[in-house]
Each structure stands twice: as structure tokens, then as C-alpha cells.
Amino acid sequence: MREQLSFRIFRWVVLIPLGLFTLMPLYVMVTSALKPLQDVQGAFEWWPSNLTLRPFVDIWSTVPLAQYFVNSLIVTTAATVFSVIIAVFASYAISRYRFRGRGAFSGVVLSTQMFPGVLFLLPLFLVFVNIDKTLGFTFLYQTRLGLIVTYLTFTLPFSIWMLASYLNGIPRDLDESAQVDGASALGALFRIILPSARPGIIAVAVYAFMTAWGEILFASQLTNSDSRTLSIGLQNYATETNVYWNQVMAAALVVSVPIVAGFLILQRYLVAGLTAGAVK
């Protein structure tokens, strides 16, 4: 069907302002990252008169950005891997087996998404501090391990729920056929189900990674200078006497590269994983 002229005009009238609204902050961020500090602090210019790459060099020495980057990468990757592994087994059990408490477990998993994360901050803090006090050494509080456990508390429930919905769309005949051929339940899971559920698993991994990578609330309270992540480390560009706005913008662009690159590479799997459960 041909698009009506009025609809095409309406579409462009809507899309152009939305596109400008979306790209304008990114343009300001990029141009500010390419300016000397005095130009950023001065009158705003749509096109910078003095372009420089110096802020992209200085961001690594002004604050220990490399350490923050490593901390974020370790914490986020570990949280993503554990979230995917646990979600695979939990969602497979929910999707394929009928057991006592199945409905209650599914309801509890889904209900955790109803509460704001700040409600879990104080309980987690008390749990970590008391565990460390009992052990006699720092094990969870202000460590990367503690932050990984914290991120699992809110990435894992949604991952289980989303992956279980995806596995419900995979016919059970595949499991039965594999078991007729002599495969065990785990054999059917690894040989048949997981290859078929690849888009859903990738969608869960992308969700967990993006959520943990940009998290601020828990990272600001449960880390110290050694375990601090990027989302908190960027605040150190603001000192008592000055704010290095050009370096803040440059660092923000640098730390966004893994998320943007991963999203562009895995976009088709992410869309398929998020929509397959509803379509099937």
C-alpha cells in the first residue's frame, strides 16, 4: 500500500524534531570534549573555534580512569555471566517442569521488579557489614565481589522472567525427541534448547550488562577508592576549585563505547529475544 502524502508529511514533521532532540545533547557532548577548558567555561559556541584532543589524553591522568574502567569491566562481566548461567537453569526448570511452589516462585521473582532499588540498599549494607564482621575481614562490603552480588539481586529476577517466557515459546517436542534419542534433561538443555534460545540468552546478557554498567546508587555506597566503578569515578572530575567539563564529556564518550558497540553488534539478537516470547 502506498503511503498517503499527508501521513508522510506528518511522519517527517514528528521524526525531525525527535531526531534533533535526541542528537542535540550528543552534539554538545562531543563538541565540549573537543574544546579547551576555558572555551567550555566561556560563552557557548555551536562550532568550537579551537579544537583539541587533549581532554581525551588528560582524562587518564586527572583521575585513575583506567582503574575505574577495569573495576566496571570485572564487576559487570561477572554479574552478566552469573546472571545468564543462573537464569538459564532457573528458567528451564520453570518452563519445563511442574513442581510445588512453581507459581509462588515465579510470582516472587516478578514481584521484585515492583520495588525501587533504594529499598534494598540498607538491608544489603547491613548484611555485608555483618558478614564481614563475622568473618573478621573485608569480604563483601566495599569490594568488587559485594558489588557483583548486589547487581545479581536486580538483574537476575528479570533475566529469569524474560528467559522463561522465551523458553515457553520453544516447543516441548524438541525436548521429548532428544530424550527419546537417549539424551538426559541436561543433555537436551545444552544440545537442543540453548542453541534454539540463543536470541533470548543474548537479550538477557545485554540487559544485565547495560544495567550493571551504568548503575550509580549501589556503587556510590558499597565501594571505596579501590573498587570504585566508572559511574562513580566520573564524579571525581569535579574538585573543590574546578570542574573539568571537557574531560567529563570526553570520559563519558569513552565509557559509552563498550555499551554502544555491544548494542550495535547484538541489536538484532536483542530485538528478537525481547519480542519472541510475545510473538510465539
Please give the C-alpha separations between residue 79 and each of 56, 66, 194, in angstroms, as whole numbers.
29, 20, 20
Under 8 Å between Cβ of 169 and 276: yes
**DSSP one-letter code for 273:** H
For 26-48, how does the pLDDT look when each residue is reduced to its tens digit (9 = 90+)?
A: 898 899 898 888 888 888 778 87
Mean pLDDT, residues 120-124 taken together: 89
Model-level pTM?
Answer: 0.82
Percent of the chain with pLDDT over 90: 22
- Neighbour count for residue 226 (Cβ, 10 Å): 11
pLDDT at residue 179 greater than cutoff 50 = yes
**What residue spans of 181-244 are helical by DSSP H?**
185-188, 194-196, 198-213, 217-221, 230-233
CA dihedral (152, 154, 160, 162) positive or negative: negative
**Predicted pLDDT at 87:** 92
For 45-90, how does the pLDDT look when each residue is reduced to its tens digit (9 = 90+)?
A: 788 788 888 999 999 988 899 999 999 999 999 999 999 999 999 9
| Radius of gyration over every alpha carbon of the chain, rounded to an integer in angstroms | 23
Q: What is the CATH number of domain 64-236?
A: 1.10.3720.10
pLDDT at residue 278 greater than cutoff 60 = no
**DSSP one-letter code for 243:** B
**Amino acid (one-letter) located at 237:** Y
